[in-house]
């Protein structure tokens, strides 16, 4: 049941992290208390509550449709501003029209997003660090299973999509939330070969450029980069020669 806020800070959040087990179709949301998105009510989740993604149309489930592969789903704590219904949790398609409330519910607070696997309507194993407004959503398992690019980009910048590992920012996720990437570059000439990564699509290279050099010929250079993703989920890359592999290990959000 929601409560009116008295002295808590603006858009306060405490708890309500989440996790997904390997092969899961449920998102477990931790107990906690968050202010709703209108900044008028507290939503109190007293116990760990599951979003059952194999069910839709009601509280503690997907809002509409069915779980699909290669998508990202936004998670919410939801409540009833009139106080008649118990606070619960729900999920909705990240690039969809927005959360569809079941009867009796009308307020909510976004707490993070979880992707499904590229070739399976199964949630990626994930966890969430940080129970306040600043959170890091991390993916569990082998980074080789989180690859979003594995090829030779060439000398001209090309765009690389980080979706669904990084959710779209045109909605609850703020612009500039960085993605944490595992980056491998294999070049041919030490000291000369290099790969460049930019946070913006289309190779706008005035700012935000990262350079990964070749240290040993034909041997992968491993780097871990925190790359701001501006207002989209697309970065751009180029290389003098060789090949590049990029895995998304997680992303930061401010809820």
- Note the pLDDT of residue 5: 46
**pLDDT at position 10:** 81
Q: Give me the pLDDT at residue 197, please.
A: 87
Regions of the chain with pLDDT less than 50? 1-5, 170-173, 206
The Cα 216–Cα 209 span in angstroms is 22
Q: Tell me which CATH code domain 144-254 carries.
A: 2.60.120
Q: List beta partners, residue 14.
A: 33
Q: What pTM was computed for the model?
A: 0.89
Q: Where are the domains of the chain?
A: 3-135, 144-254
| CA angle (152 as vertex; 146, 157 as ends), nearest 5 | 95
Q: Which CATH number fits domain 3-135: 2.20.25, 2.60.40, 1.10.10, 1.10.3470?
A: 2.60.40
* 214, two tokens: 């070749």
């Amino acid at each position: 049941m929601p409560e009116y806020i008295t002295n808590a800070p603006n858009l306060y959040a405490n708890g309500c992290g989440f996790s997904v087990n390997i092969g899961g179709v449920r998102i477990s949301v931790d107990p906690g208390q968050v202010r709703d998105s209108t900044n008028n009510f507290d939503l109190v989740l007293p116990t760990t509550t599951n979003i059952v993604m194999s069910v839709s149309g009601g509280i503690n489930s997907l809002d509409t449709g069915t779980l699909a592969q290669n998508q990202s789903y936004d998670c919410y704590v939801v409540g009833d501003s009139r106080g008649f219904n118990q606070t619960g949790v729900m999920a909705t398609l990240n690039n969809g029209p927005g959360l569809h409330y079941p009867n009796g519910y009308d307020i909510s607070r976004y707490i993070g997003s979880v992707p499904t696997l590229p070739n399976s309507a199964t949630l990626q194993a994930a966890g969430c660090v940080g129970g306040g407004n600043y959170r890091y959503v991390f993916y569990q398992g082998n980074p080789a299973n989180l690859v979003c690019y594995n090829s030779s980009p060439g000398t001209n910048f090309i765009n690389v999509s980080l979706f669904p590992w990084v959710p779209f920012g045109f909605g609850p996720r703020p612009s500039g939330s960085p993605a944490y990437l595992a980056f491998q570059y294999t070049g041919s000439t030490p000291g000369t070969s290099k790969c460049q990564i930019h946070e913006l699509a289309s190779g706008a290279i005035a700012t935000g450029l990262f350079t990964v050099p070749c240290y040993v010929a034909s041997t992968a250079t491993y780097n871990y980069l925190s790359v701001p993703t501006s207002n989209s989920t697309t970065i751009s890359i180029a290389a003098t020669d060789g090949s590049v592999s990029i895995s998304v290990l997680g992303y930061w959000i401010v809820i």
